[in-house]
Amino acid sequence: MVNLVHVLEKEDSGKKIEHILRSRFHFSRKLIQKLKLGEYVWLDGDFIFLNSTGKEGQTLIVNLQENEESTIKGEDLPLEILYEDSLFLAVNKQADQVVHPNSRYQTGTLANAVVGYWEKKNEYRPFRPISRLDRNTSGIVLIAKNRYAHQQIARQSAKKQLTKKYLGLVQGQFPYDSGEFNYPIRLKEDSKIVREIHQQGLPSKTLYRTLKRYQDFTLLEFTLVTGRTHQIRVHCQSSGYPLIGDDLYGADTSHISRQALHCHSYAFTNPLTGQRTVIHAPLPEDMKRLIEADSV
């Protein structure tokens, strides 16, 4: 059972429960409507309607549990879990794995693995990834276990309260210690996949910090301010220092078989506890080997 528990305070007295859920816990209109459809809200052990009021000291409980069959087939696949609580699951996605099934990849995806993991625990819910990664980008994918969790992270994202960082290896000796790429990105007119810098594109901003320069490569840390498709990859290409292995954007592929990009840090505020949660994913072996070879 996943519950939001709140002991009513003095300022809550006399206020409608719906108002408390909106003002204190930022429930969306859509979630409020869902709560009205069943026995989800309780006060001191008794079911109540959302237009009810309470008084100081009473215990408000909102049942956030969902038991919905996923439309995705669960599979028994390897899954590296980095973090899990009642609202969220964070996993370390491997390179060459698609996040969600599509017409080309219908099995073996991260979604199949996560649903299979839940099914083994007799838990049933839709697959709701909060973040997505390209097939050949490795690292953290955060998944919401229910509508409330997904809505709260979307709210934090809109308020720029999420911090998502990547590690990437670019070709050559990158000349700057820190700065930003702030160039609009759009889909190329003659492509369904490739993006480009263009004045008619969407605003796109990436912060970068040089961590270490090697003989032929440079290790950079990127912080996303916006989240456009292929954003880091396009920004690196436009700088003249593409990500190693990124054949889509003209990089050398002789050292690694995919773009050397890894989501290594994800930070958000847990909506139930108010605590800041920071998740880390270790550098993958293929990027480690690349660094070791270039350090000799």
Q: Which residues are catalytic?
A: 134
Instruction: Look up tokens 């097939």; give the residue.
Output: 135
Whole-angstrom Cα distance, residue 75 to residue 196? Answer: 37
Whole-angstrom Cα distance, residue 95 to residue 228? Answer: 19
How do strand 163-171 and strand 3-7 relate by DSSP bridges?
unpaired
Is there a contact between 118 and 74 (Cβ–Cβ < 8 Å)? Answer: yes
